[in-house]
Each structure stands twice: as structure tokens, then as C-alpha cells.
Structure 1
Amino acid sequence: MPAMSLTPTRRGLLAAAAAAGALGLLPGTLRAAGSDPIRPFTVNIPQAEIDELRRRIAATRLPDPETVDDRSQGIKLASFQETMRYWGTEYDWRKAEHKLNALPQFITEIDGLDIHFIQVKSRHANALPLIITHGWPGSVIEQLKVIGPLTDPTAHGGQAEDAFDVVIPSMPGYGFSGKPTGTGWNPERIARAWAELMQRLGYNRYVAQGGDWGSPVSSAMARQAPAGLLGIHINLPATIPPEVAAALAAGGPAPAGLSEKERAAFASLETFFKKYRAYGAIMGTRPQTIGYSLADSPVGLAAWIFDYNNGEPERVLDRDDVLDNVTLYWLTNTGTSAARLYWETSGQSVILAAAQKTSDISLPVAVTVFPGEVYRAPETWARRAYRNLIYFNEVDKGGHFAAWEQPELLASEVRAAFRQLRKST
């Protein structure tokens, strides 16, 4: 991470300690059991790094315009060029930095790797600890808006008994977490690290939530069933049955006997795998090759991330929200290290029931389906995939980045999903 140290300055330490105290984090939580300290962390990007980013954006050589009128060739030049102009001249990273530093952030070493995380405790008594995992091309930034509704439900239309203590780690190779220098950091290993993190924070009962890569990580936690984990909530479930997966791999047609909802899901999946899955195929086989572009060109990195949402991230997200996330990837030079997660799983889809071994999960599972997701998982598939499905709901708005797009709605779903687990323990 050039020109940036993970060791906070004395002022940063004092600021983080003060924030921790204000949010009810006792001094004892700043040191883990044994010899593994939990160090307060403050983001402080040198101005020279921001100036260099702007210089590189200004020096970008752009491609020719697309030869079609739609987005079938990728991000359209005119609109993207204007966003890049804004990024290089008007966008202010310090606002994002301020949002992050307003929250208690920490670093702790787990399994030989530094793990960055945000921990916000609720002011309400008996709050249920919750660990939330982001995905790609996301980061902890996509989860910031959901912290308030989860930790302070009474200020967001909920009840005090629905409160959570929230822990949001940066996955290995993402954001301010360390970058693996060897292989093996797959969802199973990340799941074990998250269980260690929650134990290190002193939580003896907790729940987990995730979308995108957060779904297989949370699912791996449920398969491993570490002491204290009560259940999981996911918003990109792995429900695709084997016969549907086989039909998709063969290029269709859909299997006979599907219901109307199942046929609609199959059609969405066909479109996704044929048109929008290229990023996964490349990162699953050649993360180092694409990594040279992601590390060297901020506009190349931005285009790679923007195209994930069919080139329209600003359709559902504020422009600064998206650029906060892209800038975090750039300033930490984590485009390549984040991409390797796809290689670690050999390109396996996070939504295939067999690939995610859903039949091995015995802990309670809750699922929320958002209409703008990659596919709308039918309840029939979900009940086949998860033998202990305790909650299933389809909501009327929101998409793949649920915490980012609809934080209040996702928070209400998480409250509802885990309500019965609170009562049963």
C-alpha cells in the first residue's frame, strides 16, 4: 500500500480510542486474548496520493466511442467520460475519509494477515452481535448506511429489542485489510477468520449477514457452525438446483416442469451468464493479467467496477457513493488482490446450490430476495437448497447492493429474519 502505513499516528490512536469510548467499547476490547492486539485504526491518505490520482485521470487515453446505441459493448463513452472528469477535478475523497474515521475502526492479525474492521455497538441493552460481509466490487463503504438502522433501530422505525452490535470487516485483499501473499484465502478460510474475530471481540452468541461474496462467506460460517453462531441472513442465496445449473451450462433450454417464477429466474440467469459474467471468468482465471490494468490505470479500474452493474451504477447509487468505493480500491491498490478471490474459488458461481454445499448447512438460514438482483431466487428453490430455512421474503425494491441501495429496507429484513433466534436463545 504505497505511501500509507497501517500504523496509526498518536493523534489517530487517541481519536479512535475516544470514538471507541463514546460508543461503549470498553478499553479491554482493544486487546485480544493472548498476544493478538486489536489496534485502533485511522484512515489518513497522504495528499500526494490524491494529487497523483488526479494527474493519472487527466492523462488518460480514452478508447473510441462504441459503435452501437446501447450498452451491449460495455460502458458508453460520453457518460463515463463526464463521470471521470468529475472524479479528476471535483470529487473529494476527504469526505469519504471523514465518514470512515467517524466510526471506530480497528486492525487485528488473524491467521497471519491483518484484518481491518469497523465495530459499532448499539446503545440499546442486549443488542445482538452481527458480522456483515461485503462482496466484490464492494468494500466496507457499501455497508456504512446500514449501520445506523441496525445499531439504533428506534431512530429508524424499529424497536429497541431489534438492535444489533455491528462488525464489518474488510475481506482479505480488500480495502485496509492485508493482502495475502500466498494462496488459500477462500470463503472457507475467511469464514474461520470471521469466527476468530467474533470470539476475539468477546461475542459468545452472534449472527452473520452477507450478499455477493458475503453470501458464500456467511454460508461457509454456517457450514462450519462455530461456537456462538446462531444463524445467517443472505441476500444472494445459492439456490440454483443441479438440473437448472446443467441447463444453463449447456446453453438451454430450461428444464421442463418449471413454475412461472422458476422460468423467470432461469431467463434472468441465462442473460447474466451470457452477457454479464465476463468479469468473473477473467478474474477466476487471469487475475494477475487484468491486475496490471487495475493497478496502473484509475480509469481502467473505474470502468471495470462500473461495468459490474451493466455500466449503470448511478442508476441506483449516488455518484459520490460509487466513486468513494472506486477510490478506496485505487488508493489501497487492491484491484488485483481483490480479484484473486475469484481465482481462489476456481470461478465457481456463488449462486449454485451444489457449489456452495447448501445441503451441509444445518444452522438456521434466512433469505431476502431483492427485485434488482442478478436473479430472483424462487422460494421453491430456496427450500430445496436450505433444509433449515427460517425466513424467506421478496421485497419490492432494491438490487444487488442492498445495503447501499436500500439500507433501511435491508435493516428491517435483518431484524425480521433474526427475531425468532433472539427469542430462542
Structure 2
Amino acid sequence: MTSELTPFRVDIPQTDLDDLRTRLANTRWPDQPADTGWRLGAPVDYVRELAEYWRTGFDWRAQEARINGFPQATTVIDGTQVHFLHVVSPEPAAPPVLLTHGWPGSIVEFLDVIGPLTDPRAYGGDPADALTVVAPSIPGYGFSGPTSSPDWDPARIARAFAELMTRLGYPRFGAHGSDWGATISRSLATQFPERVRGIHVTMLASAVARSEADLEGLAGDELEKGKRSLAKGTKFSREGTAYAMLQATKPQTLAYGLHDSPAGQLAWIAEKFRSFSHATEDLIDRDDLLADVSIYWFTETANSSARLYAAGGWGAPAPENTVPTGVAVFPDDIGYPVRTLAERTDKIVHWTEFARGGHFPGLEEPDALISDIRAFFRSLRRGGRSQNTPALGGF
């Protein structure tokens, strides 16, 4: 095994761009019953218009330049390639924080937040809030490329990311995540509590009400939130989990369509961007959406990314987490966490409920996400360290 870090730049061959445009032009479009809108899935007119823009108007080279504006590298950990952005803050005391995306996301979710987090002084913020950012592509996703084995679950990914932070020279660090990134961040905390100073997440599965039994002991405002959480979760379980069950049970069968048809890959992801958020076509720029879809397409990771669901961890019981945890609640996300439920399994030290935003806050509400990440890690710097725990890298 090598611990070498290899500098990386995104450079998709022109032949791949030409092939994409040809495939989009030759798409065989399905029928759609009248007046069904989004009820049965992504409407043909919506996907067709977006695909035409992807083919004729979207500028992938501009997205490449945007990504390549950040230092990045790859390394091989536990037999698989891991790609990551590594942006060292100009502020010398800035502690390291790992930012992890989920499905169907990518590092695109963090491109608008890295600058303000690493260099708040340049964005009108307090330089004391500066963080050094490491933003990996999950193994099997994006520029990390496909995994060769099917057992890359959140716990194994967390161990790989802990090793990544070791190779970068960060014995102690913080973590932030959404979707799978939240699960991976929490796994980092439970496996490496001595290394992880705190985690900030936008999802916390253990804090979502799943039955009436979860509401026992709740009162007042927390009970009302618990009822809302249960209703939202019940609706999502009934109407919105088919994709996860398919990816958890038969990802290989699904992969033939997604791997071969860019229109299929586009519809599969675009529908989730909309249904996991609120009015996504207005809140998320379509160039950001297409940059994300393009990464899945060009890196051929539709199959390996879906396998994360099959590897385990989706819906699994959560072990107790004793690491300081902050939660940012965005009301249009797929789950609605409740603080009282969260405190049964996690050491909650920070809790913020926002008025709007959904599953992709880095794209929908980046300013809100930036301010909350800053506030959480600021609180750790100022207070939550015992006398026997050394400050390292600002924590």
C-alpha cells in the first residue's frame, strides 16, 4: 500500500463530451399520461428541456475550471482511490474540517462554501472563524472512481477518511456532512472519538420519529415537532423510498440504464434534487445540477455510488455518539429531526432550525449553511475542551 498523494486535475476528454451530446440527441423519449405532473416521476417535458440544455448550452469546461480552482489530489486507501479537495486556510490557526457529500450529490455541493469557510476575511467575515477544508469524493463516487468490491459501507468509508486525515497531517479534526456524509461523519465520531473534535450534520436519522413510540416523553413544542417528524417520515417512506430500496437490493440491474443513457442518469438525479428539496428548480441553479449529473456520467459511477445502499448502513441502528454534535435543520429535507430524540443517542451541543431549505443546503441556502458551520466550530474553539485535551490546529 502506498500513502502517496498525487496531484489531480479534472480534464474530461473531448471525445467523452462529444459522445454525451450524441447520446442526448439520440434519446428515445418515453410517453407520459396527461395531467400527471411530477406524481409519477420526472415529467418528460422537464427532462427533455433540461437534456437539450445539457447538450447545447451547458458549459462543462467552465465547471472543470471551477473545480480545478481548488487544490486537489488522489491517494489509494484500503485498495481504492480517494479523490479530495484540500484547501488550506490562509489563517494560521484554522483547524481542519472534513466536508462529506451524499447521494445523489458530489463535491459540487461545497464549491460555494469552501471559500467563505477557509478565508472568511475575504468574504467580510471574522478571520477567527477560518477553517481548513478537506472535501473528499466518497469512494465509488465522482473522481474517486468506481470501487472494485461491494462492501464499502459508511464505517469503512469513515476509516478511510480517518486515514486520509492522518496522511494530510491532521491527528484531530472536525467533520460536516449531509445525507450519507452525515452518516459517515457520525461513524467517524463513534469510531474515532479521540480524534474527532465535533461533527456538524444536516441529517440525523436517529432523531427522526418513526413510530408513535418515539413520541413518548415528548411534550409541548417538542411533541408537535415529533408529530410533524412522524408525518413527514411516514409520507416519505410511502412515496419516496423506492429509489433507495432498488439501490439497496438490485443496483446492478439499475446500472444498465443509468450507465448507458445520459437522459436516464439525468432523470434519476434531477427528480431527487426536486423531491428532496422545495421548488428546487428555483433554488438550485441548473448549471450546478448538471455539473453534478455530469460528474456521475463522466466518471461512470452510477453503479458504484448506488452500491453504498447495498453495502449496509441505510436504516441501520445508530450507536451512541459521545462527540459534540451540531445539527442544522432545513425544513424541506426528507427527514425532520427533533432535538429531544437526538439527545437520546447523540451529544447535542448546537441546534439550529432554518425557515427554508432542503437536502442540498450548500446549493440551496449556502449562506445559512456557512454561518451555521462557522457558529458550531466557533463554539468548540471557545468552550468545549477539557483541561486534559490538547488544542491542536485551533481545536
Q: Flag whether TM exceeds 0.5 (same fold).
A: yes
Q: CA deviation at 1:171?
A: 0.5
Give the distance between the partners of 2:115 and 2:273, measured in 1 at CA: 26
Q: Mark the CA change 1:200 to 1:256 in structure 2 (over 3 Å): closer, same or farther.
A: closer
Report the counterpart of residue 103 of structure 2 in structure 1: 136
Task: With a CA cutoff of 8 Å and minimum separation of 6, indicate the structure with the bigger relative contact order.
Answer: 2
Report the counterpart of residue 355 of structure 1 in structure 2: 317
Query: Which secondary structure state, in structure 2, belongs to the residue aligned with residue 326 of structure 1?
Result: helix
Matches within 5 A, 1:315-394: 315-345=282-312, 348-349=314-315, 355-357=317-319, 359=320, 361-386=321-346, 388-394=347-353
Query: Which secondary structure state, in structure 1, belongs to the residue aligned with residue 297 of structure 2?
Result: helix
Report the counterpart of residue 413 of structure 1 in structure 2: 372
One-letter amino acid of the structure 2 residue matched with residue 355 of structure 1: P
- Verify the 8 A CA contact 2:9 2:72 in the aligned structure 1: yes
Matches within 5 A, 1:23-422: 35-225=2-192, 227-240=194-207, 244-246=209-211, 259-310=223-274, 313-345=280-312, 348-349=314-315, 355-357=317-319, 359=320, 361-386=321-346, 388-422=347-381
Q: Which deviates further from its counterpart, 43-52 or 218-227?
A: 218-227
Give the distance between the partners of 1:422 and 1:240, measured in 2 at CA: 26
Give the distance between the partners of 2:293 and 2:147, measured in 1 at CA: 20
Query: Which secondary structure state, in structure 2, belongs to the residue aligned with residue 220 of structure 1?
Result: helix
- Give the number of equivalent residue pairs: 378
Q: Mark the CA change 1:247 to 1:303 in structure 2 (over 3 Å): closer, same or farther.
A: farther
Q: CA deviation at 1:247?
A: 5.7
- Verify the 8 A CA contact 1:366 1:389 in the aligned structure 2: yes
- Verify the 8 A CA contact 2:210 2:233 in the aligned structure 1: no
Q: CA deviation at 1:374?
A: 1.2
Q: CA deviation at 1:207?
A: 0.2
One-letter amino acid of the structure 1 residue matched with residue 114 of structure 2: I
Unaligned runs of 5+ in 1: 1-33
Give the distance between the partners of 1:145 and 1:93, measured in 2 at CA: 17
Report the counterpart of residue 15 of structure 1 in structure 2: none
Give the distance between the partners of 2:254 and 2:2, measured in 1 at CA: 38
One-letter amino acid of the structure 2 residue matched with residue 85 of structure 1: E
One-letter amino acid of the structure 2 residue matched with residue 327 of structure 1: S
Give the distance between the partners of 1:256 and 1:315, measured in 2 at CA: 39
One-letter amino acid of the structure 2 residue matched with residue 221 of structure 1: L
Query: Which secondary structure state, in structure 2, belongs to the residue aligned with residue 167 of structure 1?
Result: strand
Unaligned runs of 5+ in 2: 386-390
Q: 1:254-283 CA deviation, whole Å, 9 max, x = no partner?
A: 879771111111111111111111110100
Q: Mark the CA change 1:256 to 1:68 in structure 2 (over 3 Å): closer, same or farther.
A: farther
- Verify the 8 A CA contact 2:332 2:358 in the aligned structure 1: yes
Query: Which secondary structure state, in structure 1, belongs to the residue aligned with residue 150 of structure 2?
Result: coil
Give the distance between the partners of 2:380 and 2:243, measured in 1 at CA: 37
- Verify the 8 A CA contact 1:370 1:395 in the aligned structure 2: yes
Q: CA deviation at 1:35?
A: 4.5
Q: CA deviation at 1:39?
A: 0.6
- Verify the 8 A CA contact 1:216 1:356 in the aligned structure 2: no
Q: Mark the CA change 1:106 to 1:422 in structure 2 (over 3 Å): closer, same or farther.
A: same
Q: CA deviation at 1:198?
A: 0.5
Give the distance between the partners of 2:348 and 2:31, measured in 1 at CA: 50
Give the distance between the partners of 2:92 and 2:356, measured in 1 at CA: 31
One-letter amino acid of the structure 2 residue matched with residue 294 of structure 1: L
Q: CA deviation at 1:88?
A: 1.2
One-letter amino acid of the structure 2 residue matched with residue 372 of structure 1: D
One-letter amino acid of the structure 2 residue matched with residue 390 of structure 1: V
Q: CA deviation at 1:293?
A: 0.5
- Verify the 8 A CA contact 1:238 1:385 in the aligned structure 2: no
- Verify the 8 A CA contact 1:60 1:299 in the aligned structure 2: yes
Sequence identity percentage: 42
Q: 1:331-350 CA deviation, whole Å, 9 max, x = no partner?
A: 1111111000000016x33x
Report the counterpart of residue 388 of structure 2 in structure 1: none
For the aligned residues, what is the CA RMSD?
A: 2.0
> Segments of 4+ in structure 1 off by > 4 A?
253-258
One-letter amino acid of the structure 1 residue matched with residue 339 of structure 2: E
